[in-house]
Amino acid sequence: MWSYRNPVDVRFGRGSFSLLGDLLKGRSYALVTYPDTYFRSLSAELEAKAGKPLLVIDDIAPNPDIALLEVQTARFANLSRTPDVVVALGGGSVIDSAKVFAAARGDFAAMDAYLKKRAGAETIKPWPLIAVPTTAGTGSEVTCWGTVWDNAGGVKFSLAHPGLYPEFSIVDPDLMVGKPRDLTIQTGLDALSHSLESLWNRSANPVSMAHAVTAARGVLATLPRLAEDLRNAELREGMARAATLAGFAFSNTKTAIAHSLSYPITLRHGVPHGIACSFSLPMIIRSVAGEGGICAEGLNAIFGTDAEGAARQLSDVLAGLGVATDYRHYGIDAEEFRDLVDLAFDGERGQNFIGSKKNLHAAADLGKEERKAVA
């Protein structure tokens, strides 16, 4: 038996940002965004249609840190009335931050207790959310969870609650045109990881697989060309579509071992999330050779070959994008990487993985030996 559910009402297409004012339906709102000139112009356009927001939070940092989120949440306490809805206009960090604010409803302590599993889901009743992603990769606009980082403590938390599915998601590829090359590659590879991670997953199902296959094929066909033609609106639309479908895929499965492996790599070595969760994908594909089921069916539909051929194809794509698949490139030695793999299996996301620790260690060693042979 299997099930699939995603309640987000998605409005996709170039120019769809213009729908945001109507979707607010006269409700009061708090706006979470960036302070850049571009985002100020978008905020002004929204304000002209929907009125002034009750609060604007625009000091959003990459990889939202729990200490800053607590300070930002406190600003809601000064409002004369609470917002009817929270609008997230920006990339994954903006949407994840908005989910924290929606869950906290001005009471960070209650949200923190739930986040750290000291309280149950019944203690959180999030405000409604509208998500407007301006990058193609995070998928947070169609999921009910977000990532919270504790840099001081060296840990990462996952905020998950069914009330955090956005009410609406507006995916307007025009908002993504001209984003920098590094950001485009990093977010695009995050989407690729989301799609592949939903295949080697204990919660995989035929609907999530269909989304994952289409998403992965879209990223592989589009991202290398987009990286060389950043203002191409058609390619931006293709990447936005792929990222949204990847979001639909892992919205029901969550991520798996690549993401579990990535978090300490980002915290310890400063590797951007999209790179940290994707450079290991060829190694992981090798490790699931022979697993069968949805994983094998999905990978074959994407790459048209066996696991070894798929790993080689993906390695070539990553190399073309300037992404090294050798963990040593990121300042990680063999001993630390082995420990990171072990740690990844202990994490919540690692437990979603259908593969074995033994096979993943073997795949990592195989990659090392192949690099020696080439050298």
Single out the residue in 174, 194, 211 at which a domain terminates: 174
114 and 222 belong to one structural domain = no
Regarding whether 260 and 159 lie in a shared domain, the answer is no
For residue 17, the 8-state DSSP code is: G
Q: Where does the pLDDT of residue 72 fall: very low under 50, low under 70, confident under 90, or very high at 90 and above?
A: very high
Which residue's entry shows tokens 């300042």?
Answer: 331
Contacts of 320 (CB under 8 A, 6+ apart): 224
Instruction: For residue 368, name the pLDDT band (cuts at 50, 70, 90).
Output: low
188 plus 142 within the same structural domain: no
Q: How many residues does the chain have?
A: 375
Distance, in Å, from the CA atom of 231 to the CA atom of 178, rounded to the nearest integer, reads 5
Between CA 33 and CA 56 the distance in angstroms is 8
Tell me whether residue 184 is in a domain: yes
3-state secondary structure of 31: strand
| Residue 17 included in any domain | yes
Please state, in angstroms and as integers, the Cα–Cα distance from residue 274 to each residue in 74, 128, 189, following that order: 30, 28, 6
Nearest to 81 by CA among 61, 58, 55, 120: 55
Are residues 115 and 261 located together in one domain of the fold? Answer: no
Per-residue pLDDT at 369 exceeds 80: no
Q: What is the CATH number of the domain that holds 327?
A: 1.20.1090.10
Q: Is residue 2 part of a domain?
A: no
The dihedral sign for the CA sequence 97, 98, 99, 102: positive
Rounded average pLDDT over 98-125? 96
Query: Do 165 and 127 belong together in one domain?
Result: yes
| Helices and strands per DSSP (H, E), number in the chain | 15, 8
Q: From its phi and psi, is residue 290 left (phi > 0), alpha (psi between -120 and 50) or beta?
A: left
Question: How would you write 143-209 as a 3-class SS string?
Answer: CCEEEEEECCCCEEEEEECHHHCCCEEEECHHHHCCCCHHHHHHHHHHHHHHHHHCCCECCCCHHHH
190 and 165 share one domain:
no
Residue 50 lies in a domain: yes
Q: What is the rounded CA–CA span in Å between residue 179 and residue 225?
A: 14
User: Amino acid letter at 337?
Assistant: F
* Residues pairing with 334 in the sheet: none
Interacting residues of 6 by C-beta distance below 8 A, sequence separation 6+: 142, 165, 248, 251, 252
Distance CA 237, CA 146 (A): 24
* Residue at which a domain ends, from 174, 190, 219: 174
CA distance 326 to 280: 8
Q: What residue numbers bound the domain in which 199 lies?
A: 180-374
Which of 151-155, 297-301, 369-373 is modeled with the greatest confidence? 297-301
Domain shared by 143 and 224, yes or no: no
Average pLDDT over the chain reads: 95
Structurally, the chain folds into a number of domains equal to 2
To which residue do tokens 């840990």 refer? 155
**Alpha-carbon torsion, ordered 252, 253, 258, 264, to 10 deg:** 70
4: in domain:
no
pLDDT level of residue 375 (50, 70, 90 thresholds): very low
Is residue 49 predicted with pLDDT exceeding 70? yes
Q: What is the DSSP letter of 347?
A: S
Query: 275 and 200 in one domain?
Result: yes
Question: Quick check: is 1 in a domain?
Answer: no
The conformational region for residue 322 under phi > 0 = left, psi -120 to 50 = alpha, else beta, is left
- pLDDT beyond 90 at 112: yes
Which residue in the block uniquely carries the two structure tokens 């955090």? 164
Q: Are 362 and 287 in contact (CB under 8 A)?
A: yes
What's the rounded mean pLDDT across residues 262-280? 97
User: Is 65 within the bounds of a domain?
Assistant: yes
Last residue of a domain, one of 157, 174, 191: 174
Q: Above 90 in pLDDT, residue 372?
A: no
200 lies in some domain: yes
Residues 68 and 136 in one domain: yes
- The 3-state secondary structure of 89-138 reads EECHHHHHHHHHHHHHCCCHHHHHHHHCCCCCHHHCCCCCEEEEECCCCC
Per-residue pLDDT reduced to its tens digit, 7-44: 999 999 999 999 999 999 999 999 999 999 999 999 99
* 214, 153: one domain: no
Residue from 132, 158, 156 nearest 145 by CA: 158
- At 365, the pLDDT band (50, 70, 90 cuts) reads confident
Residue 136: give its domain's CATH number. Answer: 3.40.50.1970
Within this chain, do residues 152 and 258 fall inside the same structural domain, yes or no?
A: no
Q: What are 178-228's pLDDT values in tens digits?
A: 999 999 999 999 999 999 999 999 999 999 999 999 999 999 999 999 999
Same domain, 242 and 349: yes
Mean pLDDT of 250-268: 97
